[in-house]
Amino acid sequence: MTAPELILTPTEMKKADLEAVASGIPGVELMRRAGRAVADSAEKIVSRGGTILVVAGPGQNGGDGFVAATVLAERGYRVSLSLLGEPDRLTGDSALVARDWKGQVQRVEDAAFHEADLVIDALFGTGLSRDLDGAARHAVDRMNGSGRPILAVDLPSGIDGETGTVRGIAVKAGRTITFAARKPCHLLMPGRAFSGSIEVADIGIGREILSAMGGRLFGNDPALWLPTLPKPGLSSHKYERGHTLVASGGATRTGAARLAARAALRIGSGLVTVASPPEAIGVTAAHLTAIMLKGCDGPEGLHAILQDPRLNALVLGPALGVHANTRAMVAVAVHARRSLVLDADALTSFEGLASELHGAFRHAPTVLTPHDGEFNRMFKDHPDILDPESKIERARRAATYTGAVVLLKGADTVVASPDGRAAINENGTPYLATAGSGDTLCGLIAGLMAQNLPAFEAACAGAWIHAEAGARFGPGLISEDLAELVPGVLRDLLR
Ligand SMILES: NC(=O)C1=CN([C@@H]2O[C@H](COP(=O)(O)OP(=O)(O)OC[C@H]3O[C@@H](n4cnc5c(N)ncnc54)[C@H](OP(=O)(O)O)[C@@H]3O)[C@@H](O)[C@H]2O)[C@@H](O)CC1
Ligand SMILES: Nc1ncnc2c1ncn2[C@@H]1O[C@H](COP(=O)(O)OP(=O)(O)O)[C@@H](O)[C@H]1O
Ligand SMILES: [K+]
């Protein structure tokens, strides 16, 4: 089994670089390895003899560009190099490797983008510190407008390495080669879309160093949670596989709970019960077979049902209604200390009332699954949570504040744990943006927690399996399909 993928922020990567230097690899050697990796990557795109334009910036990202230009020229490419800024202003390792470049150094204003078979973007990497303007902005604008293939060095210039946001303008790369580890911007939107396909080059910085300097942020791949995924043993009986309870909305709003319940059953929860308001029992009963049904009249009803200790995981929120009663049901659930997934109306009912949830979830495994709208409503009086540009940071702060694992949905779903770990999911498909898709997701997560997965692993596994199911189905996906695709995904995972 491979180890989970470590993602390093620019600050962590800088520390890892320094640590690698301290362990005996000179900085200039790291840069030479990086530049050679860029050249190798370019060689996969353009055959020898082709024309390559390297656009170098004033920092060390530009240094990687100088190395790549030198290596590619030695390999028989027609290489030209344009620099943003003055050659004699180059510093550090960049200044050293620039001396090896025997060709001309053109001004970036004179770069002949249209003549290039490939443009290598080495303008800015992890050191970007402000929005692009002036000559830098103009260069990126021309690069994008050239229609030529672009290979970005480390990250597309103009993208913020930590947040994935565009700082004024950014290079739209077809391919990005980064070093040692991916950075958040390669997974977070919109940076992911600007990066094109991504290659990670090993420049000799070992996993121990990456793990010591980073180690808190991961790509959400199965390596992160597969060891915790339950497989029923020979002698397992259904009660050992947990019992999930899903609270349903009123008579005209019962579908969401059924979607969540079906997902919990498919992911392996031994039993699943829908708790239905009395007036909705008829309609719900007509639609359920393997899933059980119990009458549940508001918070008191929920309190009574939870006297059964076997009900060990609970979904509250989908179609439950935005009102004080929903908040009261959350309070009952928190008090009962069961594994809990809160979504949709259970979150929106706390609009502007997040302070009621301060530290509320510290005592039992809890996952909150807001999309941006729900997140912004919940924390609208908490600028410290809403303001960070980084989606990872926003999710982390909400997790620390509430004591719950926070799964902040989107094309780049982020899962953050109060213990500081976070993961970014990237295997989804826009076809998942369909009514009821989120209901299915919370059923999957609760079903996994019913089987005793810890909250962070359950949220990560749920997000990945949900996305994988959606991606396998593709066009025409509706939420009812998702749970039915789960067995195929599980079969492949547990093989
Ligand atoms: N460390 C290592 O060992 C290794 C590092 N490696 C490589 O180094 C890269 C990081 O290098 P870096 O830290 O020099 O940052 P980089 O992205 O080149 O930019 C900084 C320069 O840009 C300037 N600048 C910033 N914003 C600007 C703006 N909006 N508009 C205009 N200018 C702006 C800024 O100027 P200043 O802010 O000082 O005015 C400074 O001159 C990393 O991505 C990787 O490719 C690899 O070789 C592996 C080994
Ligand atoms: N463009 C996208 N790419 C990948 N996944 C997406 C995309 N848009 C939405 N999703 C996923 O689809 C689900 C939608 O959930 P949600 O917004 O709660 O829908 P609903 O309220 O209809 O159930 C989330 O898991 C989200 O991450
Ligand atoms: K770049």
HEC per residue, the chain: CCCCCEECCHHHHHHHHHHHHHCCCCHHHHHHHHHHHHHHHHHCCCCCCCEEEEEECCCHHHHHHHHHHHHHHHCCCEEEEEECCCHHHCCHHHHHHHCCCCCCEEEHHHCCHHHCCEEEEECCCCCCCCCCCHHHHHHHHHHHHCCCCEEEECCCCCECCCCCCECCCCCCCCEEEEECCECHHHCCCCHHHHHCEEEEECCCCCHHHHHHHCCCEEECCHHHCHHHCCCCCCCCCHHHHCEEEEECCCCCCCHHHHHHHHHHHHCCCCEEEEEECHHHHHHHHCCCCCCEEEECCHHHHHHHHCCCCCCCEEEECCCCCCCHHHHHHHHHHHHHCCEEEECHHHHHCCCCCHHHHCCCCCCCCEEECCCHHHHHHHCCCCHHHHCCCCHHHHHHHHHHHHCCEEEECCCCCEEECCCCCEEECCCCCHHHCCCCHHHHHHHHHHHHHHCCCCHHHHHHHHHHHHHHHHHHHCCCCCHHHHHHHHHHHHHHHHC
128 is known to lie in a ligand binding site: yes
Which of 481, 453, 450 lies closest to 466, judged by CA?
Answer: 481
CB within 6 Å of ligand 2 — which residues? Answer: 371, 409-411, 413, 428-430, 432-433, 435-439, 441, 466
Interval between CA 152 and ligand 3 midpoint (Å): 5
Q: Which residue has the tokens 């997965």?
A: 453
Ligand nearest to the CA of 60: 1
Is the ipTM higher than 0.85? The answer is yes
Distance between CA atoms of residues 446 and 247, nearest Å: 12
pLDDT digits (tens, 9 = 90+) for 292-339: 999 999 999 999 999 999 999 999 999 999 999 999 999 999 999 999
Distance between CA atoms of residues 396 and 422, nearest Å: 7
pLDDT at res. 233 = 75
pLDDT digits (tens, 9 = 90+) for 67-94: 999 999 999 999 999 999 999 999 999 9
| CA-to-CA dists, residue 473 to 6, 259, 266, 443, 477, angstroms | 29, 17, 17, 19, 6
Interval between CA 410 and ligand 2 midpoint (Å): 6
Ligand nearest to the CA of 344: 2
pLDDT at res. 22 = 97
Which of 36, 25, 45, 40 lies closest to 65, judged by CA?
Answer: 36
Q: Which residues pair with 217 in a beta bridge?
A: 422
| CA-to-CA dists, residue 372 to 267, 394, 447, angstroms | 26, 10, 24
Interval between CA 433 and ligand 2 midpoint (Å): 4
Interval between CA 437 and ligand 1 midpoint (Å): 41
Question: Which atom number of ligand 2 is nearest to the Cα of residue 467?
Answer: 5
Question: Which atom number of ligand 2 is nearest to the Cα of residue 259?
Answer: 23
Ligand nearest to the CA of 348: 2
- Give the residue, by CA position, lying nearest to ligand 2 atom 26: 410
Interval between CA 140 and ligand 1 midpoint (Å): 16
pLDDT at res. 230 = 85
Q: Which residue has the tokens 């060390």?
A: 60
pLDDT at res. 240 = 83
Q: Which residues of the chain have pLDDT under 70?
A: none
Domains of the chain from N-terminus onward = 10-215 (3.40.50.10260), 222-494 (3.40.1190.20)
